[in-house]
């Protein structure tokens, strides 16, 4: 698939996101969904498990597709760290949602040279709770968030921006195999899944190599393109097979660290 990088970059710079970007055929996306669901049969739901690329080959393959990295390079430069990969899964007819927020609010990163990809492995529609964005909101920088108590909110602290004008929002529907990219300060949200199918997306965070963690010195990532002259992060071990016991043990510790990092202001 030939991608018009100049057009995508223009939209990204103006709106703070670009969508949809086609990477996979629906057939290939369905194959990756099948691989995910076979693993779920063994270990349970993969929803929101951090660092999926360290114990699942499918997650690693999708996050490091050359065409995906080509797109990321347009946005944050040629030296790219793969920071985190997680599946965000909304089961049919459930109340799970994501409130209005900015990704970078609680991550503790030193710079905003970061971009997130959300790759659909099932249809993401208005009915199934696709993402919605506030165009241009990335230009405001960080805005005030409030921590909330809401068991149906996917976010770790239920962090919410309360002053969002819904009339300005734009939906980002995706077919399986299509992706959305958004800046770390872009305001976005998603509503519950009212459809008959699971809404499955692979959420991937990429950083430029000069970005560092400010909350502690033991965060981790993987260099996936270019050179890392800074060495701010420890190195994650990418998955070489599915559910390797050592990988699963390491992932459990990485999960604990992620919750500790993102769960404190």
Q: How many separate domains does the chain show?
A: 1
At 154 the pLDDT is 67
At 265 the pLDDT is 45
At 152 the pLDDT is 66
At 263 the pLDDT is 66
Tokens 């005030």 sit on residue: 144
**Tens of pLDDT, residues 3-52:** 899 999 999 999 999 999 999 999 999 999 999 999 999 999 999 899 99
Q: Give me the domain span that covers residue 171.
A: 5-262
- Any residues with CB less than 8 A from the CB of 224 and at least 6 apart, and which? 63, 64, 69, 80, 81, 82, 206
At 25 the pLDDT is 97
Tokens 């459930």 sit on residue: 94
**Tens of pLDDT, residues 43-95:** 999 998 999 999 999 999 999 999 999 999 999 999 999 999 999 999 999 88
At 94 the pLDDT is 85
**Tens of pLDDT, residues 104-150:** 888 899 999 999 999 999 999 999 999 999 999 998 878 766 666 66
**Tens of pLDDT, residues 204-227:** 999 999 999 999 999 999 999 999
Any idea what the CATH number is for the domain that residue 13 is in? 2.60.120.620
């Amino acid at each position: 698939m030939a991608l018009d990088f100049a057009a995508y970059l223009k939209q990204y710079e103006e709106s703070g996101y670009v969508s949809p970007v086609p990477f996979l055929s629906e057939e290939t996306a369905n194959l990756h969904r099948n691989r995910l669901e076979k693993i779920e049969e063994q270990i349970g739901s993969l929803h929101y498990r951090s660092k999926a690329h360290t114990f699942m080959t499918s997650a690693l393959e999708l996050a490091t597709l050359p065409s995906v990295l080509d797109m990321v390079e347009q946005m944050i430069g040629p030296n790219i760290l793969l920071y985190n990969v997680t599946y965000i899964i909304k089961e049919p007819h459930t109340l799970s949602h994501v409130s209005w927020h900015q990704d970078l609010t609680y991550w503790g990163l030193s710079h905003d040279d970061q971009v997130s990809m959300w790759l659909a492995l099932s249809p993401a529609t208005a009915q199934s709770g696709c993402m919605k964005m506030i165009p241009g909101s990335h230009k405001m920088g960080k805005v005030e968030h409030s921590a909330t108590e809401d068991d149906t909110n996917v976010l770790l602290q239920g962090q919410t921006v309360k002053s969002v004008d819904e009339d300005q929002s734009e939906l980002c529907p995706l077919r399986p195999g299509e992706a959305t990219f958004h800046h770390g300060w872009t305001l976005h949200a998603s509503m519950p899944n009212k459809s008959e199918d699971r809404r499955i997306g692979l959420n991937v965070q990429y950083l430029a190599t000069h970005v560092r963690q400010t909350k502690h010195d033991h965060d981790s990532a993987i260099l996936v393109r270019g050179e890392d002259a800074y060495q701010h992060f420890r190195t994650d071990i990418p998955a070489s097979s599915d559910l390797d016991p050592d990988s699963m043990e390491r992932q459990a510790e990485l999960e604990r660290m992620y919750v500790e990092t993102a769960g404190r202001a």
